[in-house]
Amino acid sequence: MAEKAKNAEVEAPEVSTVEEAPVVSEAQANPEKFLKEFNWHNYQEGIDEVDDQQLQEFEKLVEENFVDTLNDEVVEGTVVHISDRDAIIDINAKSEGVISLNEFRYNPGLAVGDKVEVLIDVREDATGQLVLSHRKARVIKAWDRVNAAHDTGEIVNGFVKCRTKGGMIVDVFGIEAFLPGSQIDVKPIRDYDQYVNKTMEFKVVKINHEFKNVVVSHKALIEADIEEQKKEIIGQLEKGQVLEGVVKNITSYGVFIDLGGVDGLVHITDLSWSRINHPNEIVELDQKLNVVILDFDENKSRIQLGLKQLSKHPWEALAEEVKVGDKVKGKVVVIADYGAFIEVADGVEGLIHVSEMSWSTHLRSAQDFVAVGDEVEAVILTLDREERKMSLGIKQLTPDPWTDITTKYPLASKHTGVVRNFTNFGVFVELEEGIDGLIYISDLSWTKKIKHPSEFCAVGDKLDVIVLELDVEGRKLSLGHKQTTDNPWDKYETEFALDTTHPGAIEEIVDKGATVKFNEDIVAFIPSRHLEKEDGSKLKKGESADFKIIEFNKDFKRVVASHTAIFKAEEAKNVKVAAKKAAAAAAEAKPTLGDANDALQALKDKMDGKK
């Protein structure tokens, strides 16, 4: 290994050589003097003795020009030679050090003469070679620089190496630092790859010394600049002012606009005069556009912006020749139960009330006629430009069916309709679109006692009807269903006349009597006292017997019958016969009045069951 004394020129004392012949001669000539003056130091050390002053000067020069090669010390060296594998570094030590080129992969432009930081890893190896490390030196110095940057807020440069979960990995002074995705920019980042392999400026915002973690932020630098811009912008804000901004974020309720450090919100209702379902129908991210300031709070931290206000209101642009009675076309944009809103021009809407969708009078929903997105034609019914309101009608496109109602549906004419709705008192039947008639519950059946129309028919059923009454002005039509057939009670009035007798069975025992079903229509009521049989017992449920009609009312459909009346009538007949016989015998025998009374009393007792 080559020894050096760089930048230090020390004159070593001359070493006198002892000439053998003179010494011998001197020793021989004057041995006492020779021994007295003999230089024993030179003889033992091989060199001349250096005085203290010269030695101190020499040590001072060495201290000033040579580094102390202690382990774990970072020093600066100069590249003096580069081979295929190594770099030779001069650190002003007694010998040069060797560092593998692998440690300089980050710096492919390394050249002779470059200054590099190195760590004296091992003072000398087995061969006496000085062992250095550039990588370790970079790490040590990097931590010192990173800590200093964190403490002072210094801006540092970093190389974005790659993406990682939640952010990016950045090389700062040779240390891998973490750049969170939220700290890249003030606006949301959608493409992280655009930052890879770029050198950017950062601030060190957090250091974890225990785990050797470093967190950096590029957003902090932007925010500092934005804060200054923000103060300037806020100070100049005025209502009605038009500013240019960039779409920063899109939500379902509106769009956030970056005005250059200050964010404002354009509500979805202030984006367009027309109805929209989502703001992305109007704008897109990063789009530049002009907006107008509508309002802001006292601190000007919440700014309400408008986009549609920059254009003329559609109602103001509506042609003057548009008037009531005109036909217009439009698209259904909103549907409610009470009607549908039709956009007849951009930002100009009219309402078609459900009652104006059909000539029909029974209640229906707007969804039964139109759907969102439908293109429809309508007639303008009302138009108020000041209030910006318009009402439309669809049914007016077709003739009013009540115009010739008396011709199509004269009294007593028979038709077929569809059951559309029920009420407690009747059924609404639609004869055609816009022509409804009411069948009262009493006109549904000749024979059935109906408590509610749903017992007789269902919505959607077809019924034959007869026109009973027609009110053109009131647009009312009274119909009857039972009138389509003959009244069976006309026939029953003869068949079940008073005192006629009919066989039957007790169907139900009810309060104050029982019922007997003679056929599908006739169900007679039997009072309790008329259930008594000849032997004195009463008829029971399911028991068959003959019954006499004692009441028949066609109007009220009431039939009352009696079993007891049958044998009572027979007894009355027997009494009448006996009385005639007694009168005849009395005429022959001329009995006394007392005899006749006795005979009558005996017959009466027999009828009463006493004998």
- Span 404-480: which CATH code? 2.40.50.140
Model confidence over 502-532: pLDDT tens digits?
999 998 988 889 999 988 888 899 998 888 8
The pLDDT, as a whole number, for residue 309 is 85
**Angle (deg, nearest 10), helices 593-607 and 564-589:** 160
The pLDDT, as a whole number, for residue 514 is 92
For residues 51 and 72, give the distance between their C-alpha atoms in angstroms, rounded to a whole number: 36
- For domain 494-572, the CATH architecture is Beta Barrel (2.40)
Burial of 252 (0-12, 13-18, 19+ CB in 10 A): exposed
With a cut of 70, say whether residue 137 has pLDDT above it. Answer: yes
With a cut of 60, say whether residue 21 has pLDDT above it. Answer: no
CATH of 237-306, one of 2.30.130.10, 3.40.50.300, 3.30.70.100, 2.40.50.140: 2.40.50.140
With a cut of 70, say whether residue 42 has pLDDT above it. Answer: no
The pLDDT, as a whole number, for residue 607 is 59
Q: Is the backbone of residue 21 left (phi > 0), alpha (psi -120 to 50) or beta?
A: alpha
- Domain map (residue ranges) of the chain: 74-139, 153-224, 237-306, 314-397, 404-480, 494-572
Model confidence over 212-255: pLDDT tens digits?
788 888 888 877 777 777 777 777 778 888 888 899 889 999 99
Which residues in 532-556 are b (16+ Cβ under 10 Å) and which e? Answer: beeeeebbeeeeeeebbbbebeeee
- Span 153-224: which CATH code? 2.40.50.140
More confident residue, 121 or 481: 481
Q: Worst-scoring range by mean pLDDT, 67-76, 78-87, 306-315?
A: 67-76
For residues 449 and 502, give the distance between their C-alpha atoms in angstroms, rounded to a whole number: 22
The pLDDT, as a whole number, for residue 123 is 62
Model confidence over 320-370: pLDDT tens digits?
778 888 898 989 988 888 899 998 888 888 999 988 888 776 667 888 888
Mean pLDDT of the residues in the chain: 79
Model confidence over 544-594: pLDDT tens digits?
898 998 898 887 888 999 988 888 776 666 556 566 666 665 556 555 555
For the residues 28-57, what does the mean pLDDT come to? 61
Residue 332 · residue 374 · CB < 8 Å: yes
- For domain 74-139, the CATH architecture is Beta Barrel (2.40)
For residues 395 and 7, give the distance between their C-alpha atoms in angstroms, rounded to a whole number: 111
Q: What percent of the chain has pLDDT over 90?
A: 12
Residue 257 · residue 266 · CB < 8 Å: yes
Taking the CA atoms of 143, 149, 150 and 152 in sequence, report the sign of the dihedral they define. positive
Q: Phi and psi (nearest 5°) for 495?
A: -65, -40
Residue 436 · residue 362 · CB < 8 Å: yes
More confident residue, 403 or 228: 403
Is domain 314-397 classified as CATH 1.10.4080.10?
no
Model confidence over 176-223: pLDDT tens digits?
889 888 888 877 777 888 888 888 888 888 888 777 788 888 888 877
Percentages helix, strand, coil for the chain (3-state, rounded to 5) are 30, 35, 35
The pLDDT, as a whole number, for residue 125 is 60
The amino acid at residue 59 is E
**11: confidence class by pLDDT, cuts 50, 70, 90:** very low
3-state secondary structure 416-435: EEEEEEEECCEEEEEEECCE
Model confidence over 310-331: pLDDT tens digits?
888 888 777 777 888 889 898 9
